[in-house]
Structure 1
Amino acid sequence: MKAEAWVFGITALFVGVVSPAYWFLTEDPTGTSALVMTTLLFGMVTLYLGFHASRMDPRPEDRKEGEIADGAGELGFFPPYSWWPLWCALALGVIVYGTALAAWWLVFIGFTVGAVVLCGFIFEYYRGEHAH
């Protein structure tokens, strides 16, 4: 993760240098604040990656003598298809539509359906065909 920390650190440094230059050239407070927040965000990610890179064993791609075969093995669980995100998006759409129309009964229906659908999405892999 040291390579990733370096990439984010160099980007944070670049945006940190560009931010005052942008302010002096344009005097635009909106763009300058966005650049400053971007600098802080990249700095935060740099600190996180650098902190964890110093505390963990180097990955095969982080070592100079690392081989491709060193990274072989199980990479994790990748879920198959799921219909639950579609229903969650539709429930959120009903909530937003009800809010825009000030139809609070529609918002209530959206929250009720959304709670049921969200429970189904969360507990999807605890039952049925893909249970663990």
Structure 2
Amino acid sequence: MKVETWIFAITTLFFVVVTPGYWIATSHYFDGSGDWTGTVALAMTMLLALMITLYLGFHARRMDARPEDRTDGEIADGAGELGFFPPYSWWPLWVAMCLAAGVFGIAMAAWWLFIIAAGLGFVALSGFVFEYYRGEYAH
């Protein structure tokens, strides 16, 4: 994970340089005050990249080196089980449809549609979360 740490560290440094540059460049167009919305968004992006850098750096020191992190690593060293990949599921479709209907209800001020979508969305989200506790793929 050291490579990933370096990638995010370079990204953090990029945003450290770009954020004040953006504020200075936009200050000529906004009566000398700068564009605070874009500047704050870039500063938050820089802090997010810094947070990920610190997290990866903290865990990279405590983990055993992965095959891709070692200079003598072979492709065969990475063989084996990579993790759990769930089978097909219809629940994400229903969750997305309820979310779309709810947002549409808010945008059109159709509160009745939002309330129906929220109720159905609760059912769909519950089904999605508890999918592996019942049925064919129960653990």
TM, length-normalised to structure 1: 0.87
Does structure 1 residue 95 correspond to structure 2 residue 111?
A: no
Does residue 18 in structure 1 map to residue 25 in structure 2? no
Task: Tell me the C-alpha RMSD between the 2 structures.
Answer: 1.7
How far is the alpha carbon of 1:31 from its aligned partner?
A: 2.5
State the distance in 2 between where 1:22 and 1:9 align: 20
Structure 1 stretch displaced more, 26-35 or 67-76? 26-35
Match of 2:9? Answer: 9
The alignment partner of 2:8 has SS state of helix
Residue 77 (structure 1) aligns with: 84
User: Which amino acid in structure 1 is aligned with residue 74 of structure 2?
Assistant: E
2:66 aligned with 1:59: yes
Alignment of 1:88-127 (within 5 A): 88-127=95-134
Any idea what the Cα deviations from partners look like across 1:73-108, whole Å, max 9, x if unmatched? 111111121111111111122222332333333322
Structure 1's 87 and 46: CA in aligned 2 closer, same or farther, altered over 3 A?
Answer: same
Hey, what's the Cα distance between the residues in 2 that align with 1:101 and 1:54? 52
Q: How many residues align?
A: 132
- What amino acid does structure 1 have at the position aligned with 2:118? F
Aligned-residue sequence identity (percent) comes to: 67
When structure 1 is superposed on structure 2, of 10-19 and 26-35 the one drifting more is: 26-35
Extract unaligned runs of 5+ from structure 2: 28-33
User: What's the offset of the Cα at 1:63?
Assistant: 1.2
